[in-house]
Amino acid sequence: MFTWLISVLFAHFASGWPLIDSRLIPIISLMITVPTNFLLSKFWVFHKTTLKEVRHYGSQ
- CB burial of residue 7 (10 Å; 0-12, 13-18, 19+): buried
How far apart are the C-alpha atoms of 12 and 16, rounded to whole Å? Answer: 7
pLDDT tens figures, 30-51? 999 899 888 888 877 776 655 5
Domain count, the chain: 1
Domain with 24, as residue range(s), is 2-57
pLDDT for the residue 18: 86
Q: How far is CA 4 from the centre of its chain?
A: 10
- Indicate whether this model's pTM tops 0.85: no
- DSSP designation for 16: T
Output the pLDDT for position 31: 92
Instruction: Report CA dihedral (15, 21, 26, 29) to the nearest 10 degrees.
Output: -70
